[in-house]
């Protein structure tokens, strides 16, 4: 292997070079040297194949020819075979994977990890090349690039004395993932990390947390009381283990260490108890509420708006001419954020009763624009303040059983289904992806939701048939 041409090829691919001392040491390992040469060959062949593929597609498009499946299959053939001078099952399997992947990216990752192994075994004597290796291909960064577990066996990474701590990896994972989470999710995961996972991770290297440790943690969570002196419920324990599983799943993708949470059975837990209000109860709640909250309760109970959606609703989202409310934002922890998911961005038709409530609310807060539902001081309603202060007082004043404000959303679903609305309409109004969960969740609450005795429709049919039989 010529060091000059090899280094030139590595530079073309954006990879760090090797110094003379590393090439000398590599010459003493002919199997690894041949594997590195084979990887370079496959990487270049893959690049050439990709370039030719793109040119052929562009030429066909310019000539007005259809690009058929046969044309695509021609360019998707495996790369030409590469033979190693010495039999090596692991390396041959890696080469076959690269050949059939047909992507230069796969070969590039194997190249990077191979260079990483060489640099770890033989210190670099060239300061310039050493900076390249430290900045591009060395140590932890490159092992992230190739998540396959068997790579360690192929490249034979030497043991590392400066292994990343598991707690540091956990924080890096949290900071990387938190940018895609809602504020409430971010806070919940941070609490789980600080209270339950980081104390267990303390002093452990990143790869040292296996199946035995997971089972031990689950046992401690289930048997030892929490800070409040109460034993944690199955739902809380499952949530903690879910976060642990996501963290260790990322460790597997980056380092190849198997996720010990895979296949772990969740603790059995009861379904969330749902207690929707009947229509007369909802009207009692709206009547008993203070002036600034009466229509807030009524609209939520008839449209199924989530707390954040109602609290973040702006007058710009209300179209009086079309008779609709557009949900495009939610208020969470004092911030306007995107709704819960893509299906939550929706347009809701205002029923006459809902429009009447919105008209009354417009007289209170609509003059200056801004938020639809506000406190007496003109601030947007806060989810926690309403749930912990206003809502309990309202339930006590009406003599209704205690339940969370989220049951206003359940109330809207059960009322619409009881009134005979199409399930797809109900799902679209609530912001669900489909209607499958509607009947399984709310069907048992449809009876008597409208405050009347069910079964009267069937009685009318029976009575009518009997009357007709007597008349005949």
**Number of alpha carbons in the 13 Å side-chain half-sphere of residue 441:** 23
Alpha-carbon 298 to chain mean position: 33
The pLDDT score that the predictor gives to residue 309 is 95
How many CA atoms are closer than 13 Å to the CA of 444, on its beta-carbon side?
6
Q: Give 349's strand partners.
A: 324
Sequential pLDDT tens for the chain (472 residues) = 788 888 888 887 778 888 888 888 888 888 888 888 888 888 888 878 877 877 887 777 777 777 676 777 777 788 888 888 777 777 787 788 778 776 666 777 777 778 877 887 788 888 888 877 765 543 333 343 344 444 555 665 554 445 578 888 999 899 889 888 888 888 899 999 998 999 999 888 888 899 999 999 999 999 988 777 788 899 999 999 999 999 999 988 888 888 999 889 889 987 777 889 999 999 999 999 999 999 999 999 999 999 999 999 999 999 999 999 999 999 988 888 888 888 899 999 999 999 999 999 999 997 667 999 999 988 999 999 999 999 999 999 999 999 999 999 999 998 888 888 888 888 899 998 777 777 677 766 555 555 555 555 556 656 666 677 666 6
Q: What's the per-residue H, E or C state across 251-315?
A: HHHHHCCCCCCCCCCCCCCCCCCCCCCCHHHHHHHHHHCCHHHHHHHHHHHHHCCCHHHHHCCEH
pLDDT at 261: 93
From residue 16, alpha-carbon distances to 2, 113, 120, 127, 198 in Å are 16, 11, 13, 12, 35
> Rounded to the nearest 10 degrees, how much is the dihedral formed by the CA atoms of 288, 292, 295, 296?
-110
pLDDT at 447: 56
Query: Which pLDDT does position 139 carry in this prediction?
Result: 38
Distance CA 28, CA 51 (A): 36
Q: What pLDDT does 466 receive?
A: 60
The Cα 452–Cα 206 span in angstroms is 62
The per-residue pLDDT for 65 is 72
3-class DSSP assignment, residue 158: coil
Contact 298, 286 (CB under 8 A): yes
Burial tier of 423 (Cβ tally within 10 Å: 0-12, 13-18, 19+): middle
Instruction: Give the Cα separation of 431 and 341 in Å (integer).
Output: 9
Nearest of 132, 83, 82 to residue 112 by alpha carbon? 132
Listed residue (306, 325, 304) closest to 315, CA to CA: 325
DSSP 8-state symbol, 205: B
Place of tokens 């969330």: 272
**Structure-derived torsion over alpha carbons of residues 240, 244, 246, 247, reported in degrees to the nearest 10:** 140
Q: What are the angstrom distances between the C-alpha of 40 and each of 6, 65, 312, 322, 374?
A: 8, 35, 56, 63, 65
The owner of tokens 């400066």 is 162
Closest alpha carbon to 287 in 351, 357, 352: 357
Q: Just give the CATH number of 279-445.
A: 1.10.443.10
426 burial level (CB within 10 Å; 0-12, 13-18, 19+): buried
């Amino acid at each position: 292997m010529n060091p000059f041409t090899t280094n030139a090829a590595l530079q073309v691919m954006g990879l760090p070079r090797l110094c003379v001392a590393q090439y000398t040491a590599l010459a003493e390992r002919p199997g690894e040297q041949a594997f590195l040469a084979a990887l370079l060959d496959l990487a270049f062949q893959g690049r050439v194949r990709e370039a030719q593929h793109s040119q052929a597609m562009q030429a066909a498009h310019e000539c007005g020819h259809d690009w058929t499946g046969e044309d695509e299959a021609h360019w998707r053939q495996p790369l030409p075979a590469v033979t190693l001078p010495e039999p090596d099952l692991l390396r041959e399997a890696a080469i076959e994977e690269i050949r059939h992947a047909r992507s230069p990216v796969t070969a590039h990752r194997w190249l990077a990890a191979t260079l990483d192994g060489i640099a770890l075994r033989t210190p670099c004597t060239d300061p310039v090349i050493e900076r390249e290796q430290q900045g591009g291909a060395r140590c932890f960064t490159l092992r992230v690039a190739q998540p396959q577990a068997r790579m360690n066996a192929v490249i034979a990474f030497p043991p590392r004395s400066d292994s990343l701590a598991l707690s540091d990896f956990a924080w890096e994972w949290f900071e990387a993932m938190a940018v895609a989470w809602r504020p409430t999710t971010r806070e919940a995961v941070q609490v789980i990390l600080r209270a339950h996972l980081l104390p267990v991770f303390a002093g452990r290297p990143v790869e040292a947390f296996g199946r035995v440790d997971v089972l031990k943690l689950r046992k401690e969570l289930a048997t030892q009381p929490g800070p409040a002196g109460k034993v944690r419920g199955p739902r809380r324990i499952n949530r903690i283990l879910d976060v642990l599983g996501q963290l260790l799943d990322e460790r597997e993708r980056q380092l190849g260490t198997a996720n010990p949470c895979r296949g772990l059975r969740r603790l059995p837990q009861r379904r969330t108890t749902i207690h929707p209000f009947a229509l007369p109860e909802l009207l009692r709640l709206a009547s008993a509420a203070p002036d600034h909250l009466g229509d807030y309760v009524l609209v939520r109970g008839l449209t199924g708006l989530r707390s954040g959606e109602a609290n973040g609703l702006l007058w710009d989202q209300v179209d009086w001419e079309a008779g609709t409310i557009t949900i495009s934002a939610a208020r969470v922890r004092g911030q306007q954020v995107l709704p819960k998911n893509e299906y939550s961005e929706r347009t809701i038709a205002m029923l006459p009763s809902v429009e009447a409530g919105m008209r009354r609310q417009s007289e209170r807060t609509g003059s200056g624009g801004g938020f639809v539902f506000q406190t007496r001081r003109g601030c947007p309603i806060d989810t926690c303040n309403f749930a912990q202060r206003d809502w309990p007082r309202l339930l006590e004043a009406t003599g209704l059983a205690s339940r969370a404000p989220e049951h206003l959303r359940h109330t809207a679903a059960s009322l619409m289904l009881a009134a005979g609305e199409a399930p797809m309409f109900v799902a679209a109004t609530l912001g669900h992806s489909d209607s499958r969960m509607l009947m399984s969740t709310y069907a048992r609450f449809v009876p008597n939701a409208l405050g009347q005795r069910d079964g009267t429709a069937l009685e009318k049919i029976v009575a009518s048939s009997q009357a007709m039989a007597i008349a005949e």
